[in-house]
Amino acid sequence: MAELSRGGIDTAAVRSDFPILDQQVNGHRLVYLDSASSSQKPRAVIDAMSRYYETTHANVHRGVYAIAEEATRQYEQARVRMARFLNAPRTREVVFTKNVTEAINLVAQSWGRANLGPGDAVLLTQMEHHANLVPWLMLAAERGVELRYLPLTPDGHLDLSDLDRLLAGVKLVGVSAMSNVLGTINPVQEISEAAHAAGAVCLVDAAQMVPHMAVDVRALGCDFLGFTGHKMLGPTGIGGLWAREELLEAMPPFLGGGEMISDVRLDGFSTNEIPWKFEAGTPPIAEAIGLGAAIEYLERLGMEAVRRHEIDITGYALCSLRERHGDDLVIFGPNDPLHRGGVLSMALGEIHAHDLSQVLDQYGVCVRAGHHCAKPLMRCLGVSATARASFYVYNDRDDVDELSEALAEARKFFA
């Protein structure tokens, strides 16, 4: 009988679905703790992509022969799956992009340029990933838009005490649903409601949330939501934007070229219907099909179980690492695993994050070291870098114990 984790996931069975995890690194079992950066891929995803290339590769929305029609069907089927996964009211509200960074740039360049100018403000937060900062900094420099930032509380939550004042004159609020550094789960529903009451739209960077818990765009009440496939068991090169139909209808195209037009003359063009209006050129077809297979895999596990599993492993990690390493180990972000995802950014004594990560690698433990594309947040935390361990469906308490053991070795090494 398979043993279920306390969260309800059979991690041994899950692990056996991921070929990459079945290997030794530096003489140790590979312990992959960098899924917040990019998750590993189950055999089902790899097979779906290979099958597509081996049996039905052709360009989509063009050919009228059988394999081209099948390629189109599979590509569009992935959109249907993604829309269902987000509980989107309509499939046509899901635009495929190459990642969440492109999705946010799409909103900034298309909606932003059409709707923002001098005197308008955009409200972001101090915990945003560069993907939800730089597109707005670019627009601010071009259009004279004012950028404001929600600050943080000492325990790594958003400080909403001044929200109403900060919202005056704001046209768009951009917020990460789950921090990639602190793990903080932000109150997106409350922020969306406040944004709407102030006459603003709300954009959610859900890169970290969509892979790890059930996301319902209707319940969140937001207007735009970006996701990225490679963090949710899917391949690289595919992500997307969900947006309310009426917003997408009104927005000008982002990139120009084939696919996104209904007619082209030498003196102008007319645009295709949504979502294709925003999908210029040959799209990432195999990648979308791989994403569809990843969604199927996650749905089989059940997103409630995925979340329960992560609460369990995160709670275990917070307790056991602190117990063993005491004050030498700082773990940033909220203490309660119910308020955070499975992302642990750490500082161990005076050891530089990169040195720590290299020593952990000697024990087969992969963690990310650096600023995690959140330099303004690093400045708030008073550090230049952290070592970040992040968990997913294939990790279990043994992996946390391996991490803890490797941290102990690092302390000895640098003592």
Residues engaged in binding ligand PLP (CB under 6 A): 37, 99-101, 129, 131, 176, 180, 205, 207-208, 228, 239, 373
Query: What's the gap between Cα 104 and its chain centre?
Result: 12
Cis bond upstream, residue 187 (ω within 30): no
Q: How far apart are CA 410 and CA 284, in angstroms?
A: 42
Mark residue 156 as left, alpha or beta (left: phi above 0; alpha: psi -120 to 50; beta: remaining).
left
Q: Please say which residue, 86 or 351, places its beta carbon nearer to ligand PLP.
A: 86
Cβ pair 52, 289 in contact under 8 A: yes
Least Å distance, CB 199 to ligand PLP, is: 26
Residue 390 CB, nearest distance to ligand PLP (Å)?
A: 10
Characterize the bridge pairing of strands 239-243 and 28-29.
unpaired
> Degrees (nearest 5) of the Cα angle 83, 284, 113?
70
Is there a contact between 242 and 230 (Cβ–Cβ < 8 Å)?
Answer: no
Min dist CB 2 to ligand PLP, Å, is 31
CB of 46 to ligand PLP, least distance (A): 19
Nearest approach, Cβ of 246 to ligand PLP (angstroms)? Answer: 25
Q: Please provide the size of the chain in residues.
A: 415
Task: Say if residues 297 and 380 touch (Cβ distance below 8 Å).
Answer: no
Instruction: Name which of 206, 210, 211 is nearest 223 in CA terms.
Output: 206
Instruction: Return the number of other C-beta atoms located less than 10 Å from residue 39's C-beta.
Output: 23
DSSP 305: H
Tell me how crowded residue 384 is: count the other CB atoms within 10 A of its CB. 12
Residue in 197, 169, 174 with CA at minimum distance from that of residue 107: 174
CA distance 104 to 323: 40
Task: Supply the angle between the helices 66-85 and 43-55 in degrees, to the nearest 10.
Answer: 150
Positions marked active-site: 373
Nearer to ligand PLP, 180 or 272 (CB): 180
Residues 130/133/136/137 CA torsion (nearest 10 deg): -90
Closer residue to ligand PLP in complex, CB, 99/272: 99
The nearer residue to ligand PLP, 220 or 359, going by C-beta atoms, is: 220
Torsions phi, psi for 281 (to 5 deg): 80, 175
Residues whose CB falls within 8 Å of the CB of residue 168, separated by 6 or more in sequence, listed in order: 198
For the bound state, the minimum distance from the C-beta of residue 127 to ligand PLP, rounded and expressed in Å, comes to 9
- Reduced to 3 states, what is the DSSP secondary structure of residue 228? strand
Least separation, in Å, of the C-beta of 267 and ligand PLP? 36
Report the nearest approach of ligand PLP to the CB of residue 234 (Å).
11
Query: Which residue number, 56 or 101, has a Cβ lying nearer to ligand PLP?
Result: 101
- Neighbouring C-alpha atoms within 13 Å toward the C-beta of 251: 28
